[in-house]
Amino acid sequence: GQQLNQSPQSMFIQEGEDVSMNCTSSSIFNTWLWYKQEPGEGPVLLIALYKAGELTSNGRLTAQFGITRKDSFLNISASIPSDVGIYFCAGRIFTSGTYKYIFGTGTRLKVLA
């Protein structure tokens, strides 16, 4: 199935550093969602974006819906050890008469204390 291009694939960072990741696509989306998934658990919704240009924060997390509607980024400020996990994006698209979610390939984040 189709997947969104997400980068970076993985990253090691020091505690306290800021983190940035993004998703890009050749398709236009009407919703962008960002999730965090820890080992053996289901994805947990972090931020939902509904309008082009929208910038939304959730604590130390900030995400933006790209102006072209083809991309989105997620920033984590002042990372802490519990930020470890896999982050992935999802875009919602209307295709073939129905809504469909396309998911990113994931960014594996490891935080060094």
Partner 1 sequence: DVKVTQSSRYLVKRTGEKVFLECVQDMDHENMFWYRQDPGLGLRLIYFSYDVKMKEKGDIPEGYSVSREKKERFSLILESASTNQTSMYLCASNGGSSYNSPLHFGNGTRLTV
Catalog residues that contact partner 1 under the rule CB under 8 A. 1, 3, 30-31, 33, 35, 40-45, 48, 50, 88, 90, 98-101, 103-106
- With respect to partner 1, which residue has the nearer C-beta, 44 or 67? 44
- With respect to partner 1, which residue has the nearer C-beta, 62 or 105? 105
Q: How far apart are the first and last CA of the chain?
A: 37
Q: How far is the CB of 86 from partner 1 (least distance, A)?
A: 10
CA distance 49 to 35: 12
CA distance 12 to 26: 28
